[in-house]
């Protein structure tokens, strides 16, 4: 059975949405993700703008401003819900790991 689009998020998707809790320009998103992850995750412009377009189409973010070729974005409630769902999924994975790998008793 095929997964629904955005049912799970890649790290790049997760961090883009996380950064867009504040209104940001595309270039600011790339810089903020790299800073937030201490350089572990780098998002190139092609990947970024492709994902931004997909997020706009899915109503997960909205474009708020345009200045020439620059565009500014902000997360929507749909995007926040996707971000929260991914956080819960990752938390569950961590709990399972702790329980089974480390022998910790977690619910």
Q: Which domains does the chain have, with CATH numbers?
A: 11-76 (1.10.10.10)
Q: Is the pLDDT of residue 107 over 70?
A: no
User: Do residues 51 and 33 touch, judged by C-beta distance below 8 A?
Assistant: no
Q: What is the pTM of this model?
A: 0.87
Of 73, 69, 33, the closest CA to residue 52 belongs to: 73
Q: How far is CA 28 from CA 35, 36, 44, 51, 80, in A?
A: 10, 12, 12, 15, 19
Mean pLDDT value of segment 25-33: 97
Mean pLDDT value of segment 19-39: 97
Mean pLDDT value of segment 35-45: 96
Instruction: Quote the CA–CA distance of 55 and 75 in Å, as a whole number.
Output: 9
Residue partners of 73: CB distance under 8 A and separation at least 6? 20, 23, 24, 25, 26, 29, 52, 55, 56, 61, 62, 63, 64
């Amino acid at each position: 059975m095929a997964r629904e689009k955005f049912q799970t998020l890649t790290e790049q998707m997760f961090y883009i949405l996380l950064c867009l809790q504040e209104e940001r320009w595309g270039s600011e998103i790339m810089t903020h993700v790299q800073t937030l992850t201490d350089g572990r995750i780098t998002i190139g412009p092609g990947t970024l703008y492709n994902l931004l377009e997909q997020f706009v189409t899915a109503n997960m973010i909205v474009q708020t401003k345009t200045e020439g070729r620059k565009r500014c974005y902000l997360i929507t409630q749909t995007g926040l819900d996707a971000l929260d769902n991914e956080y819960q999924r990752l938390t569950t994975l961590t709990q399972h790991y702790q329980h089974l790998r480390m022998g910790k008793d977690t619910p």
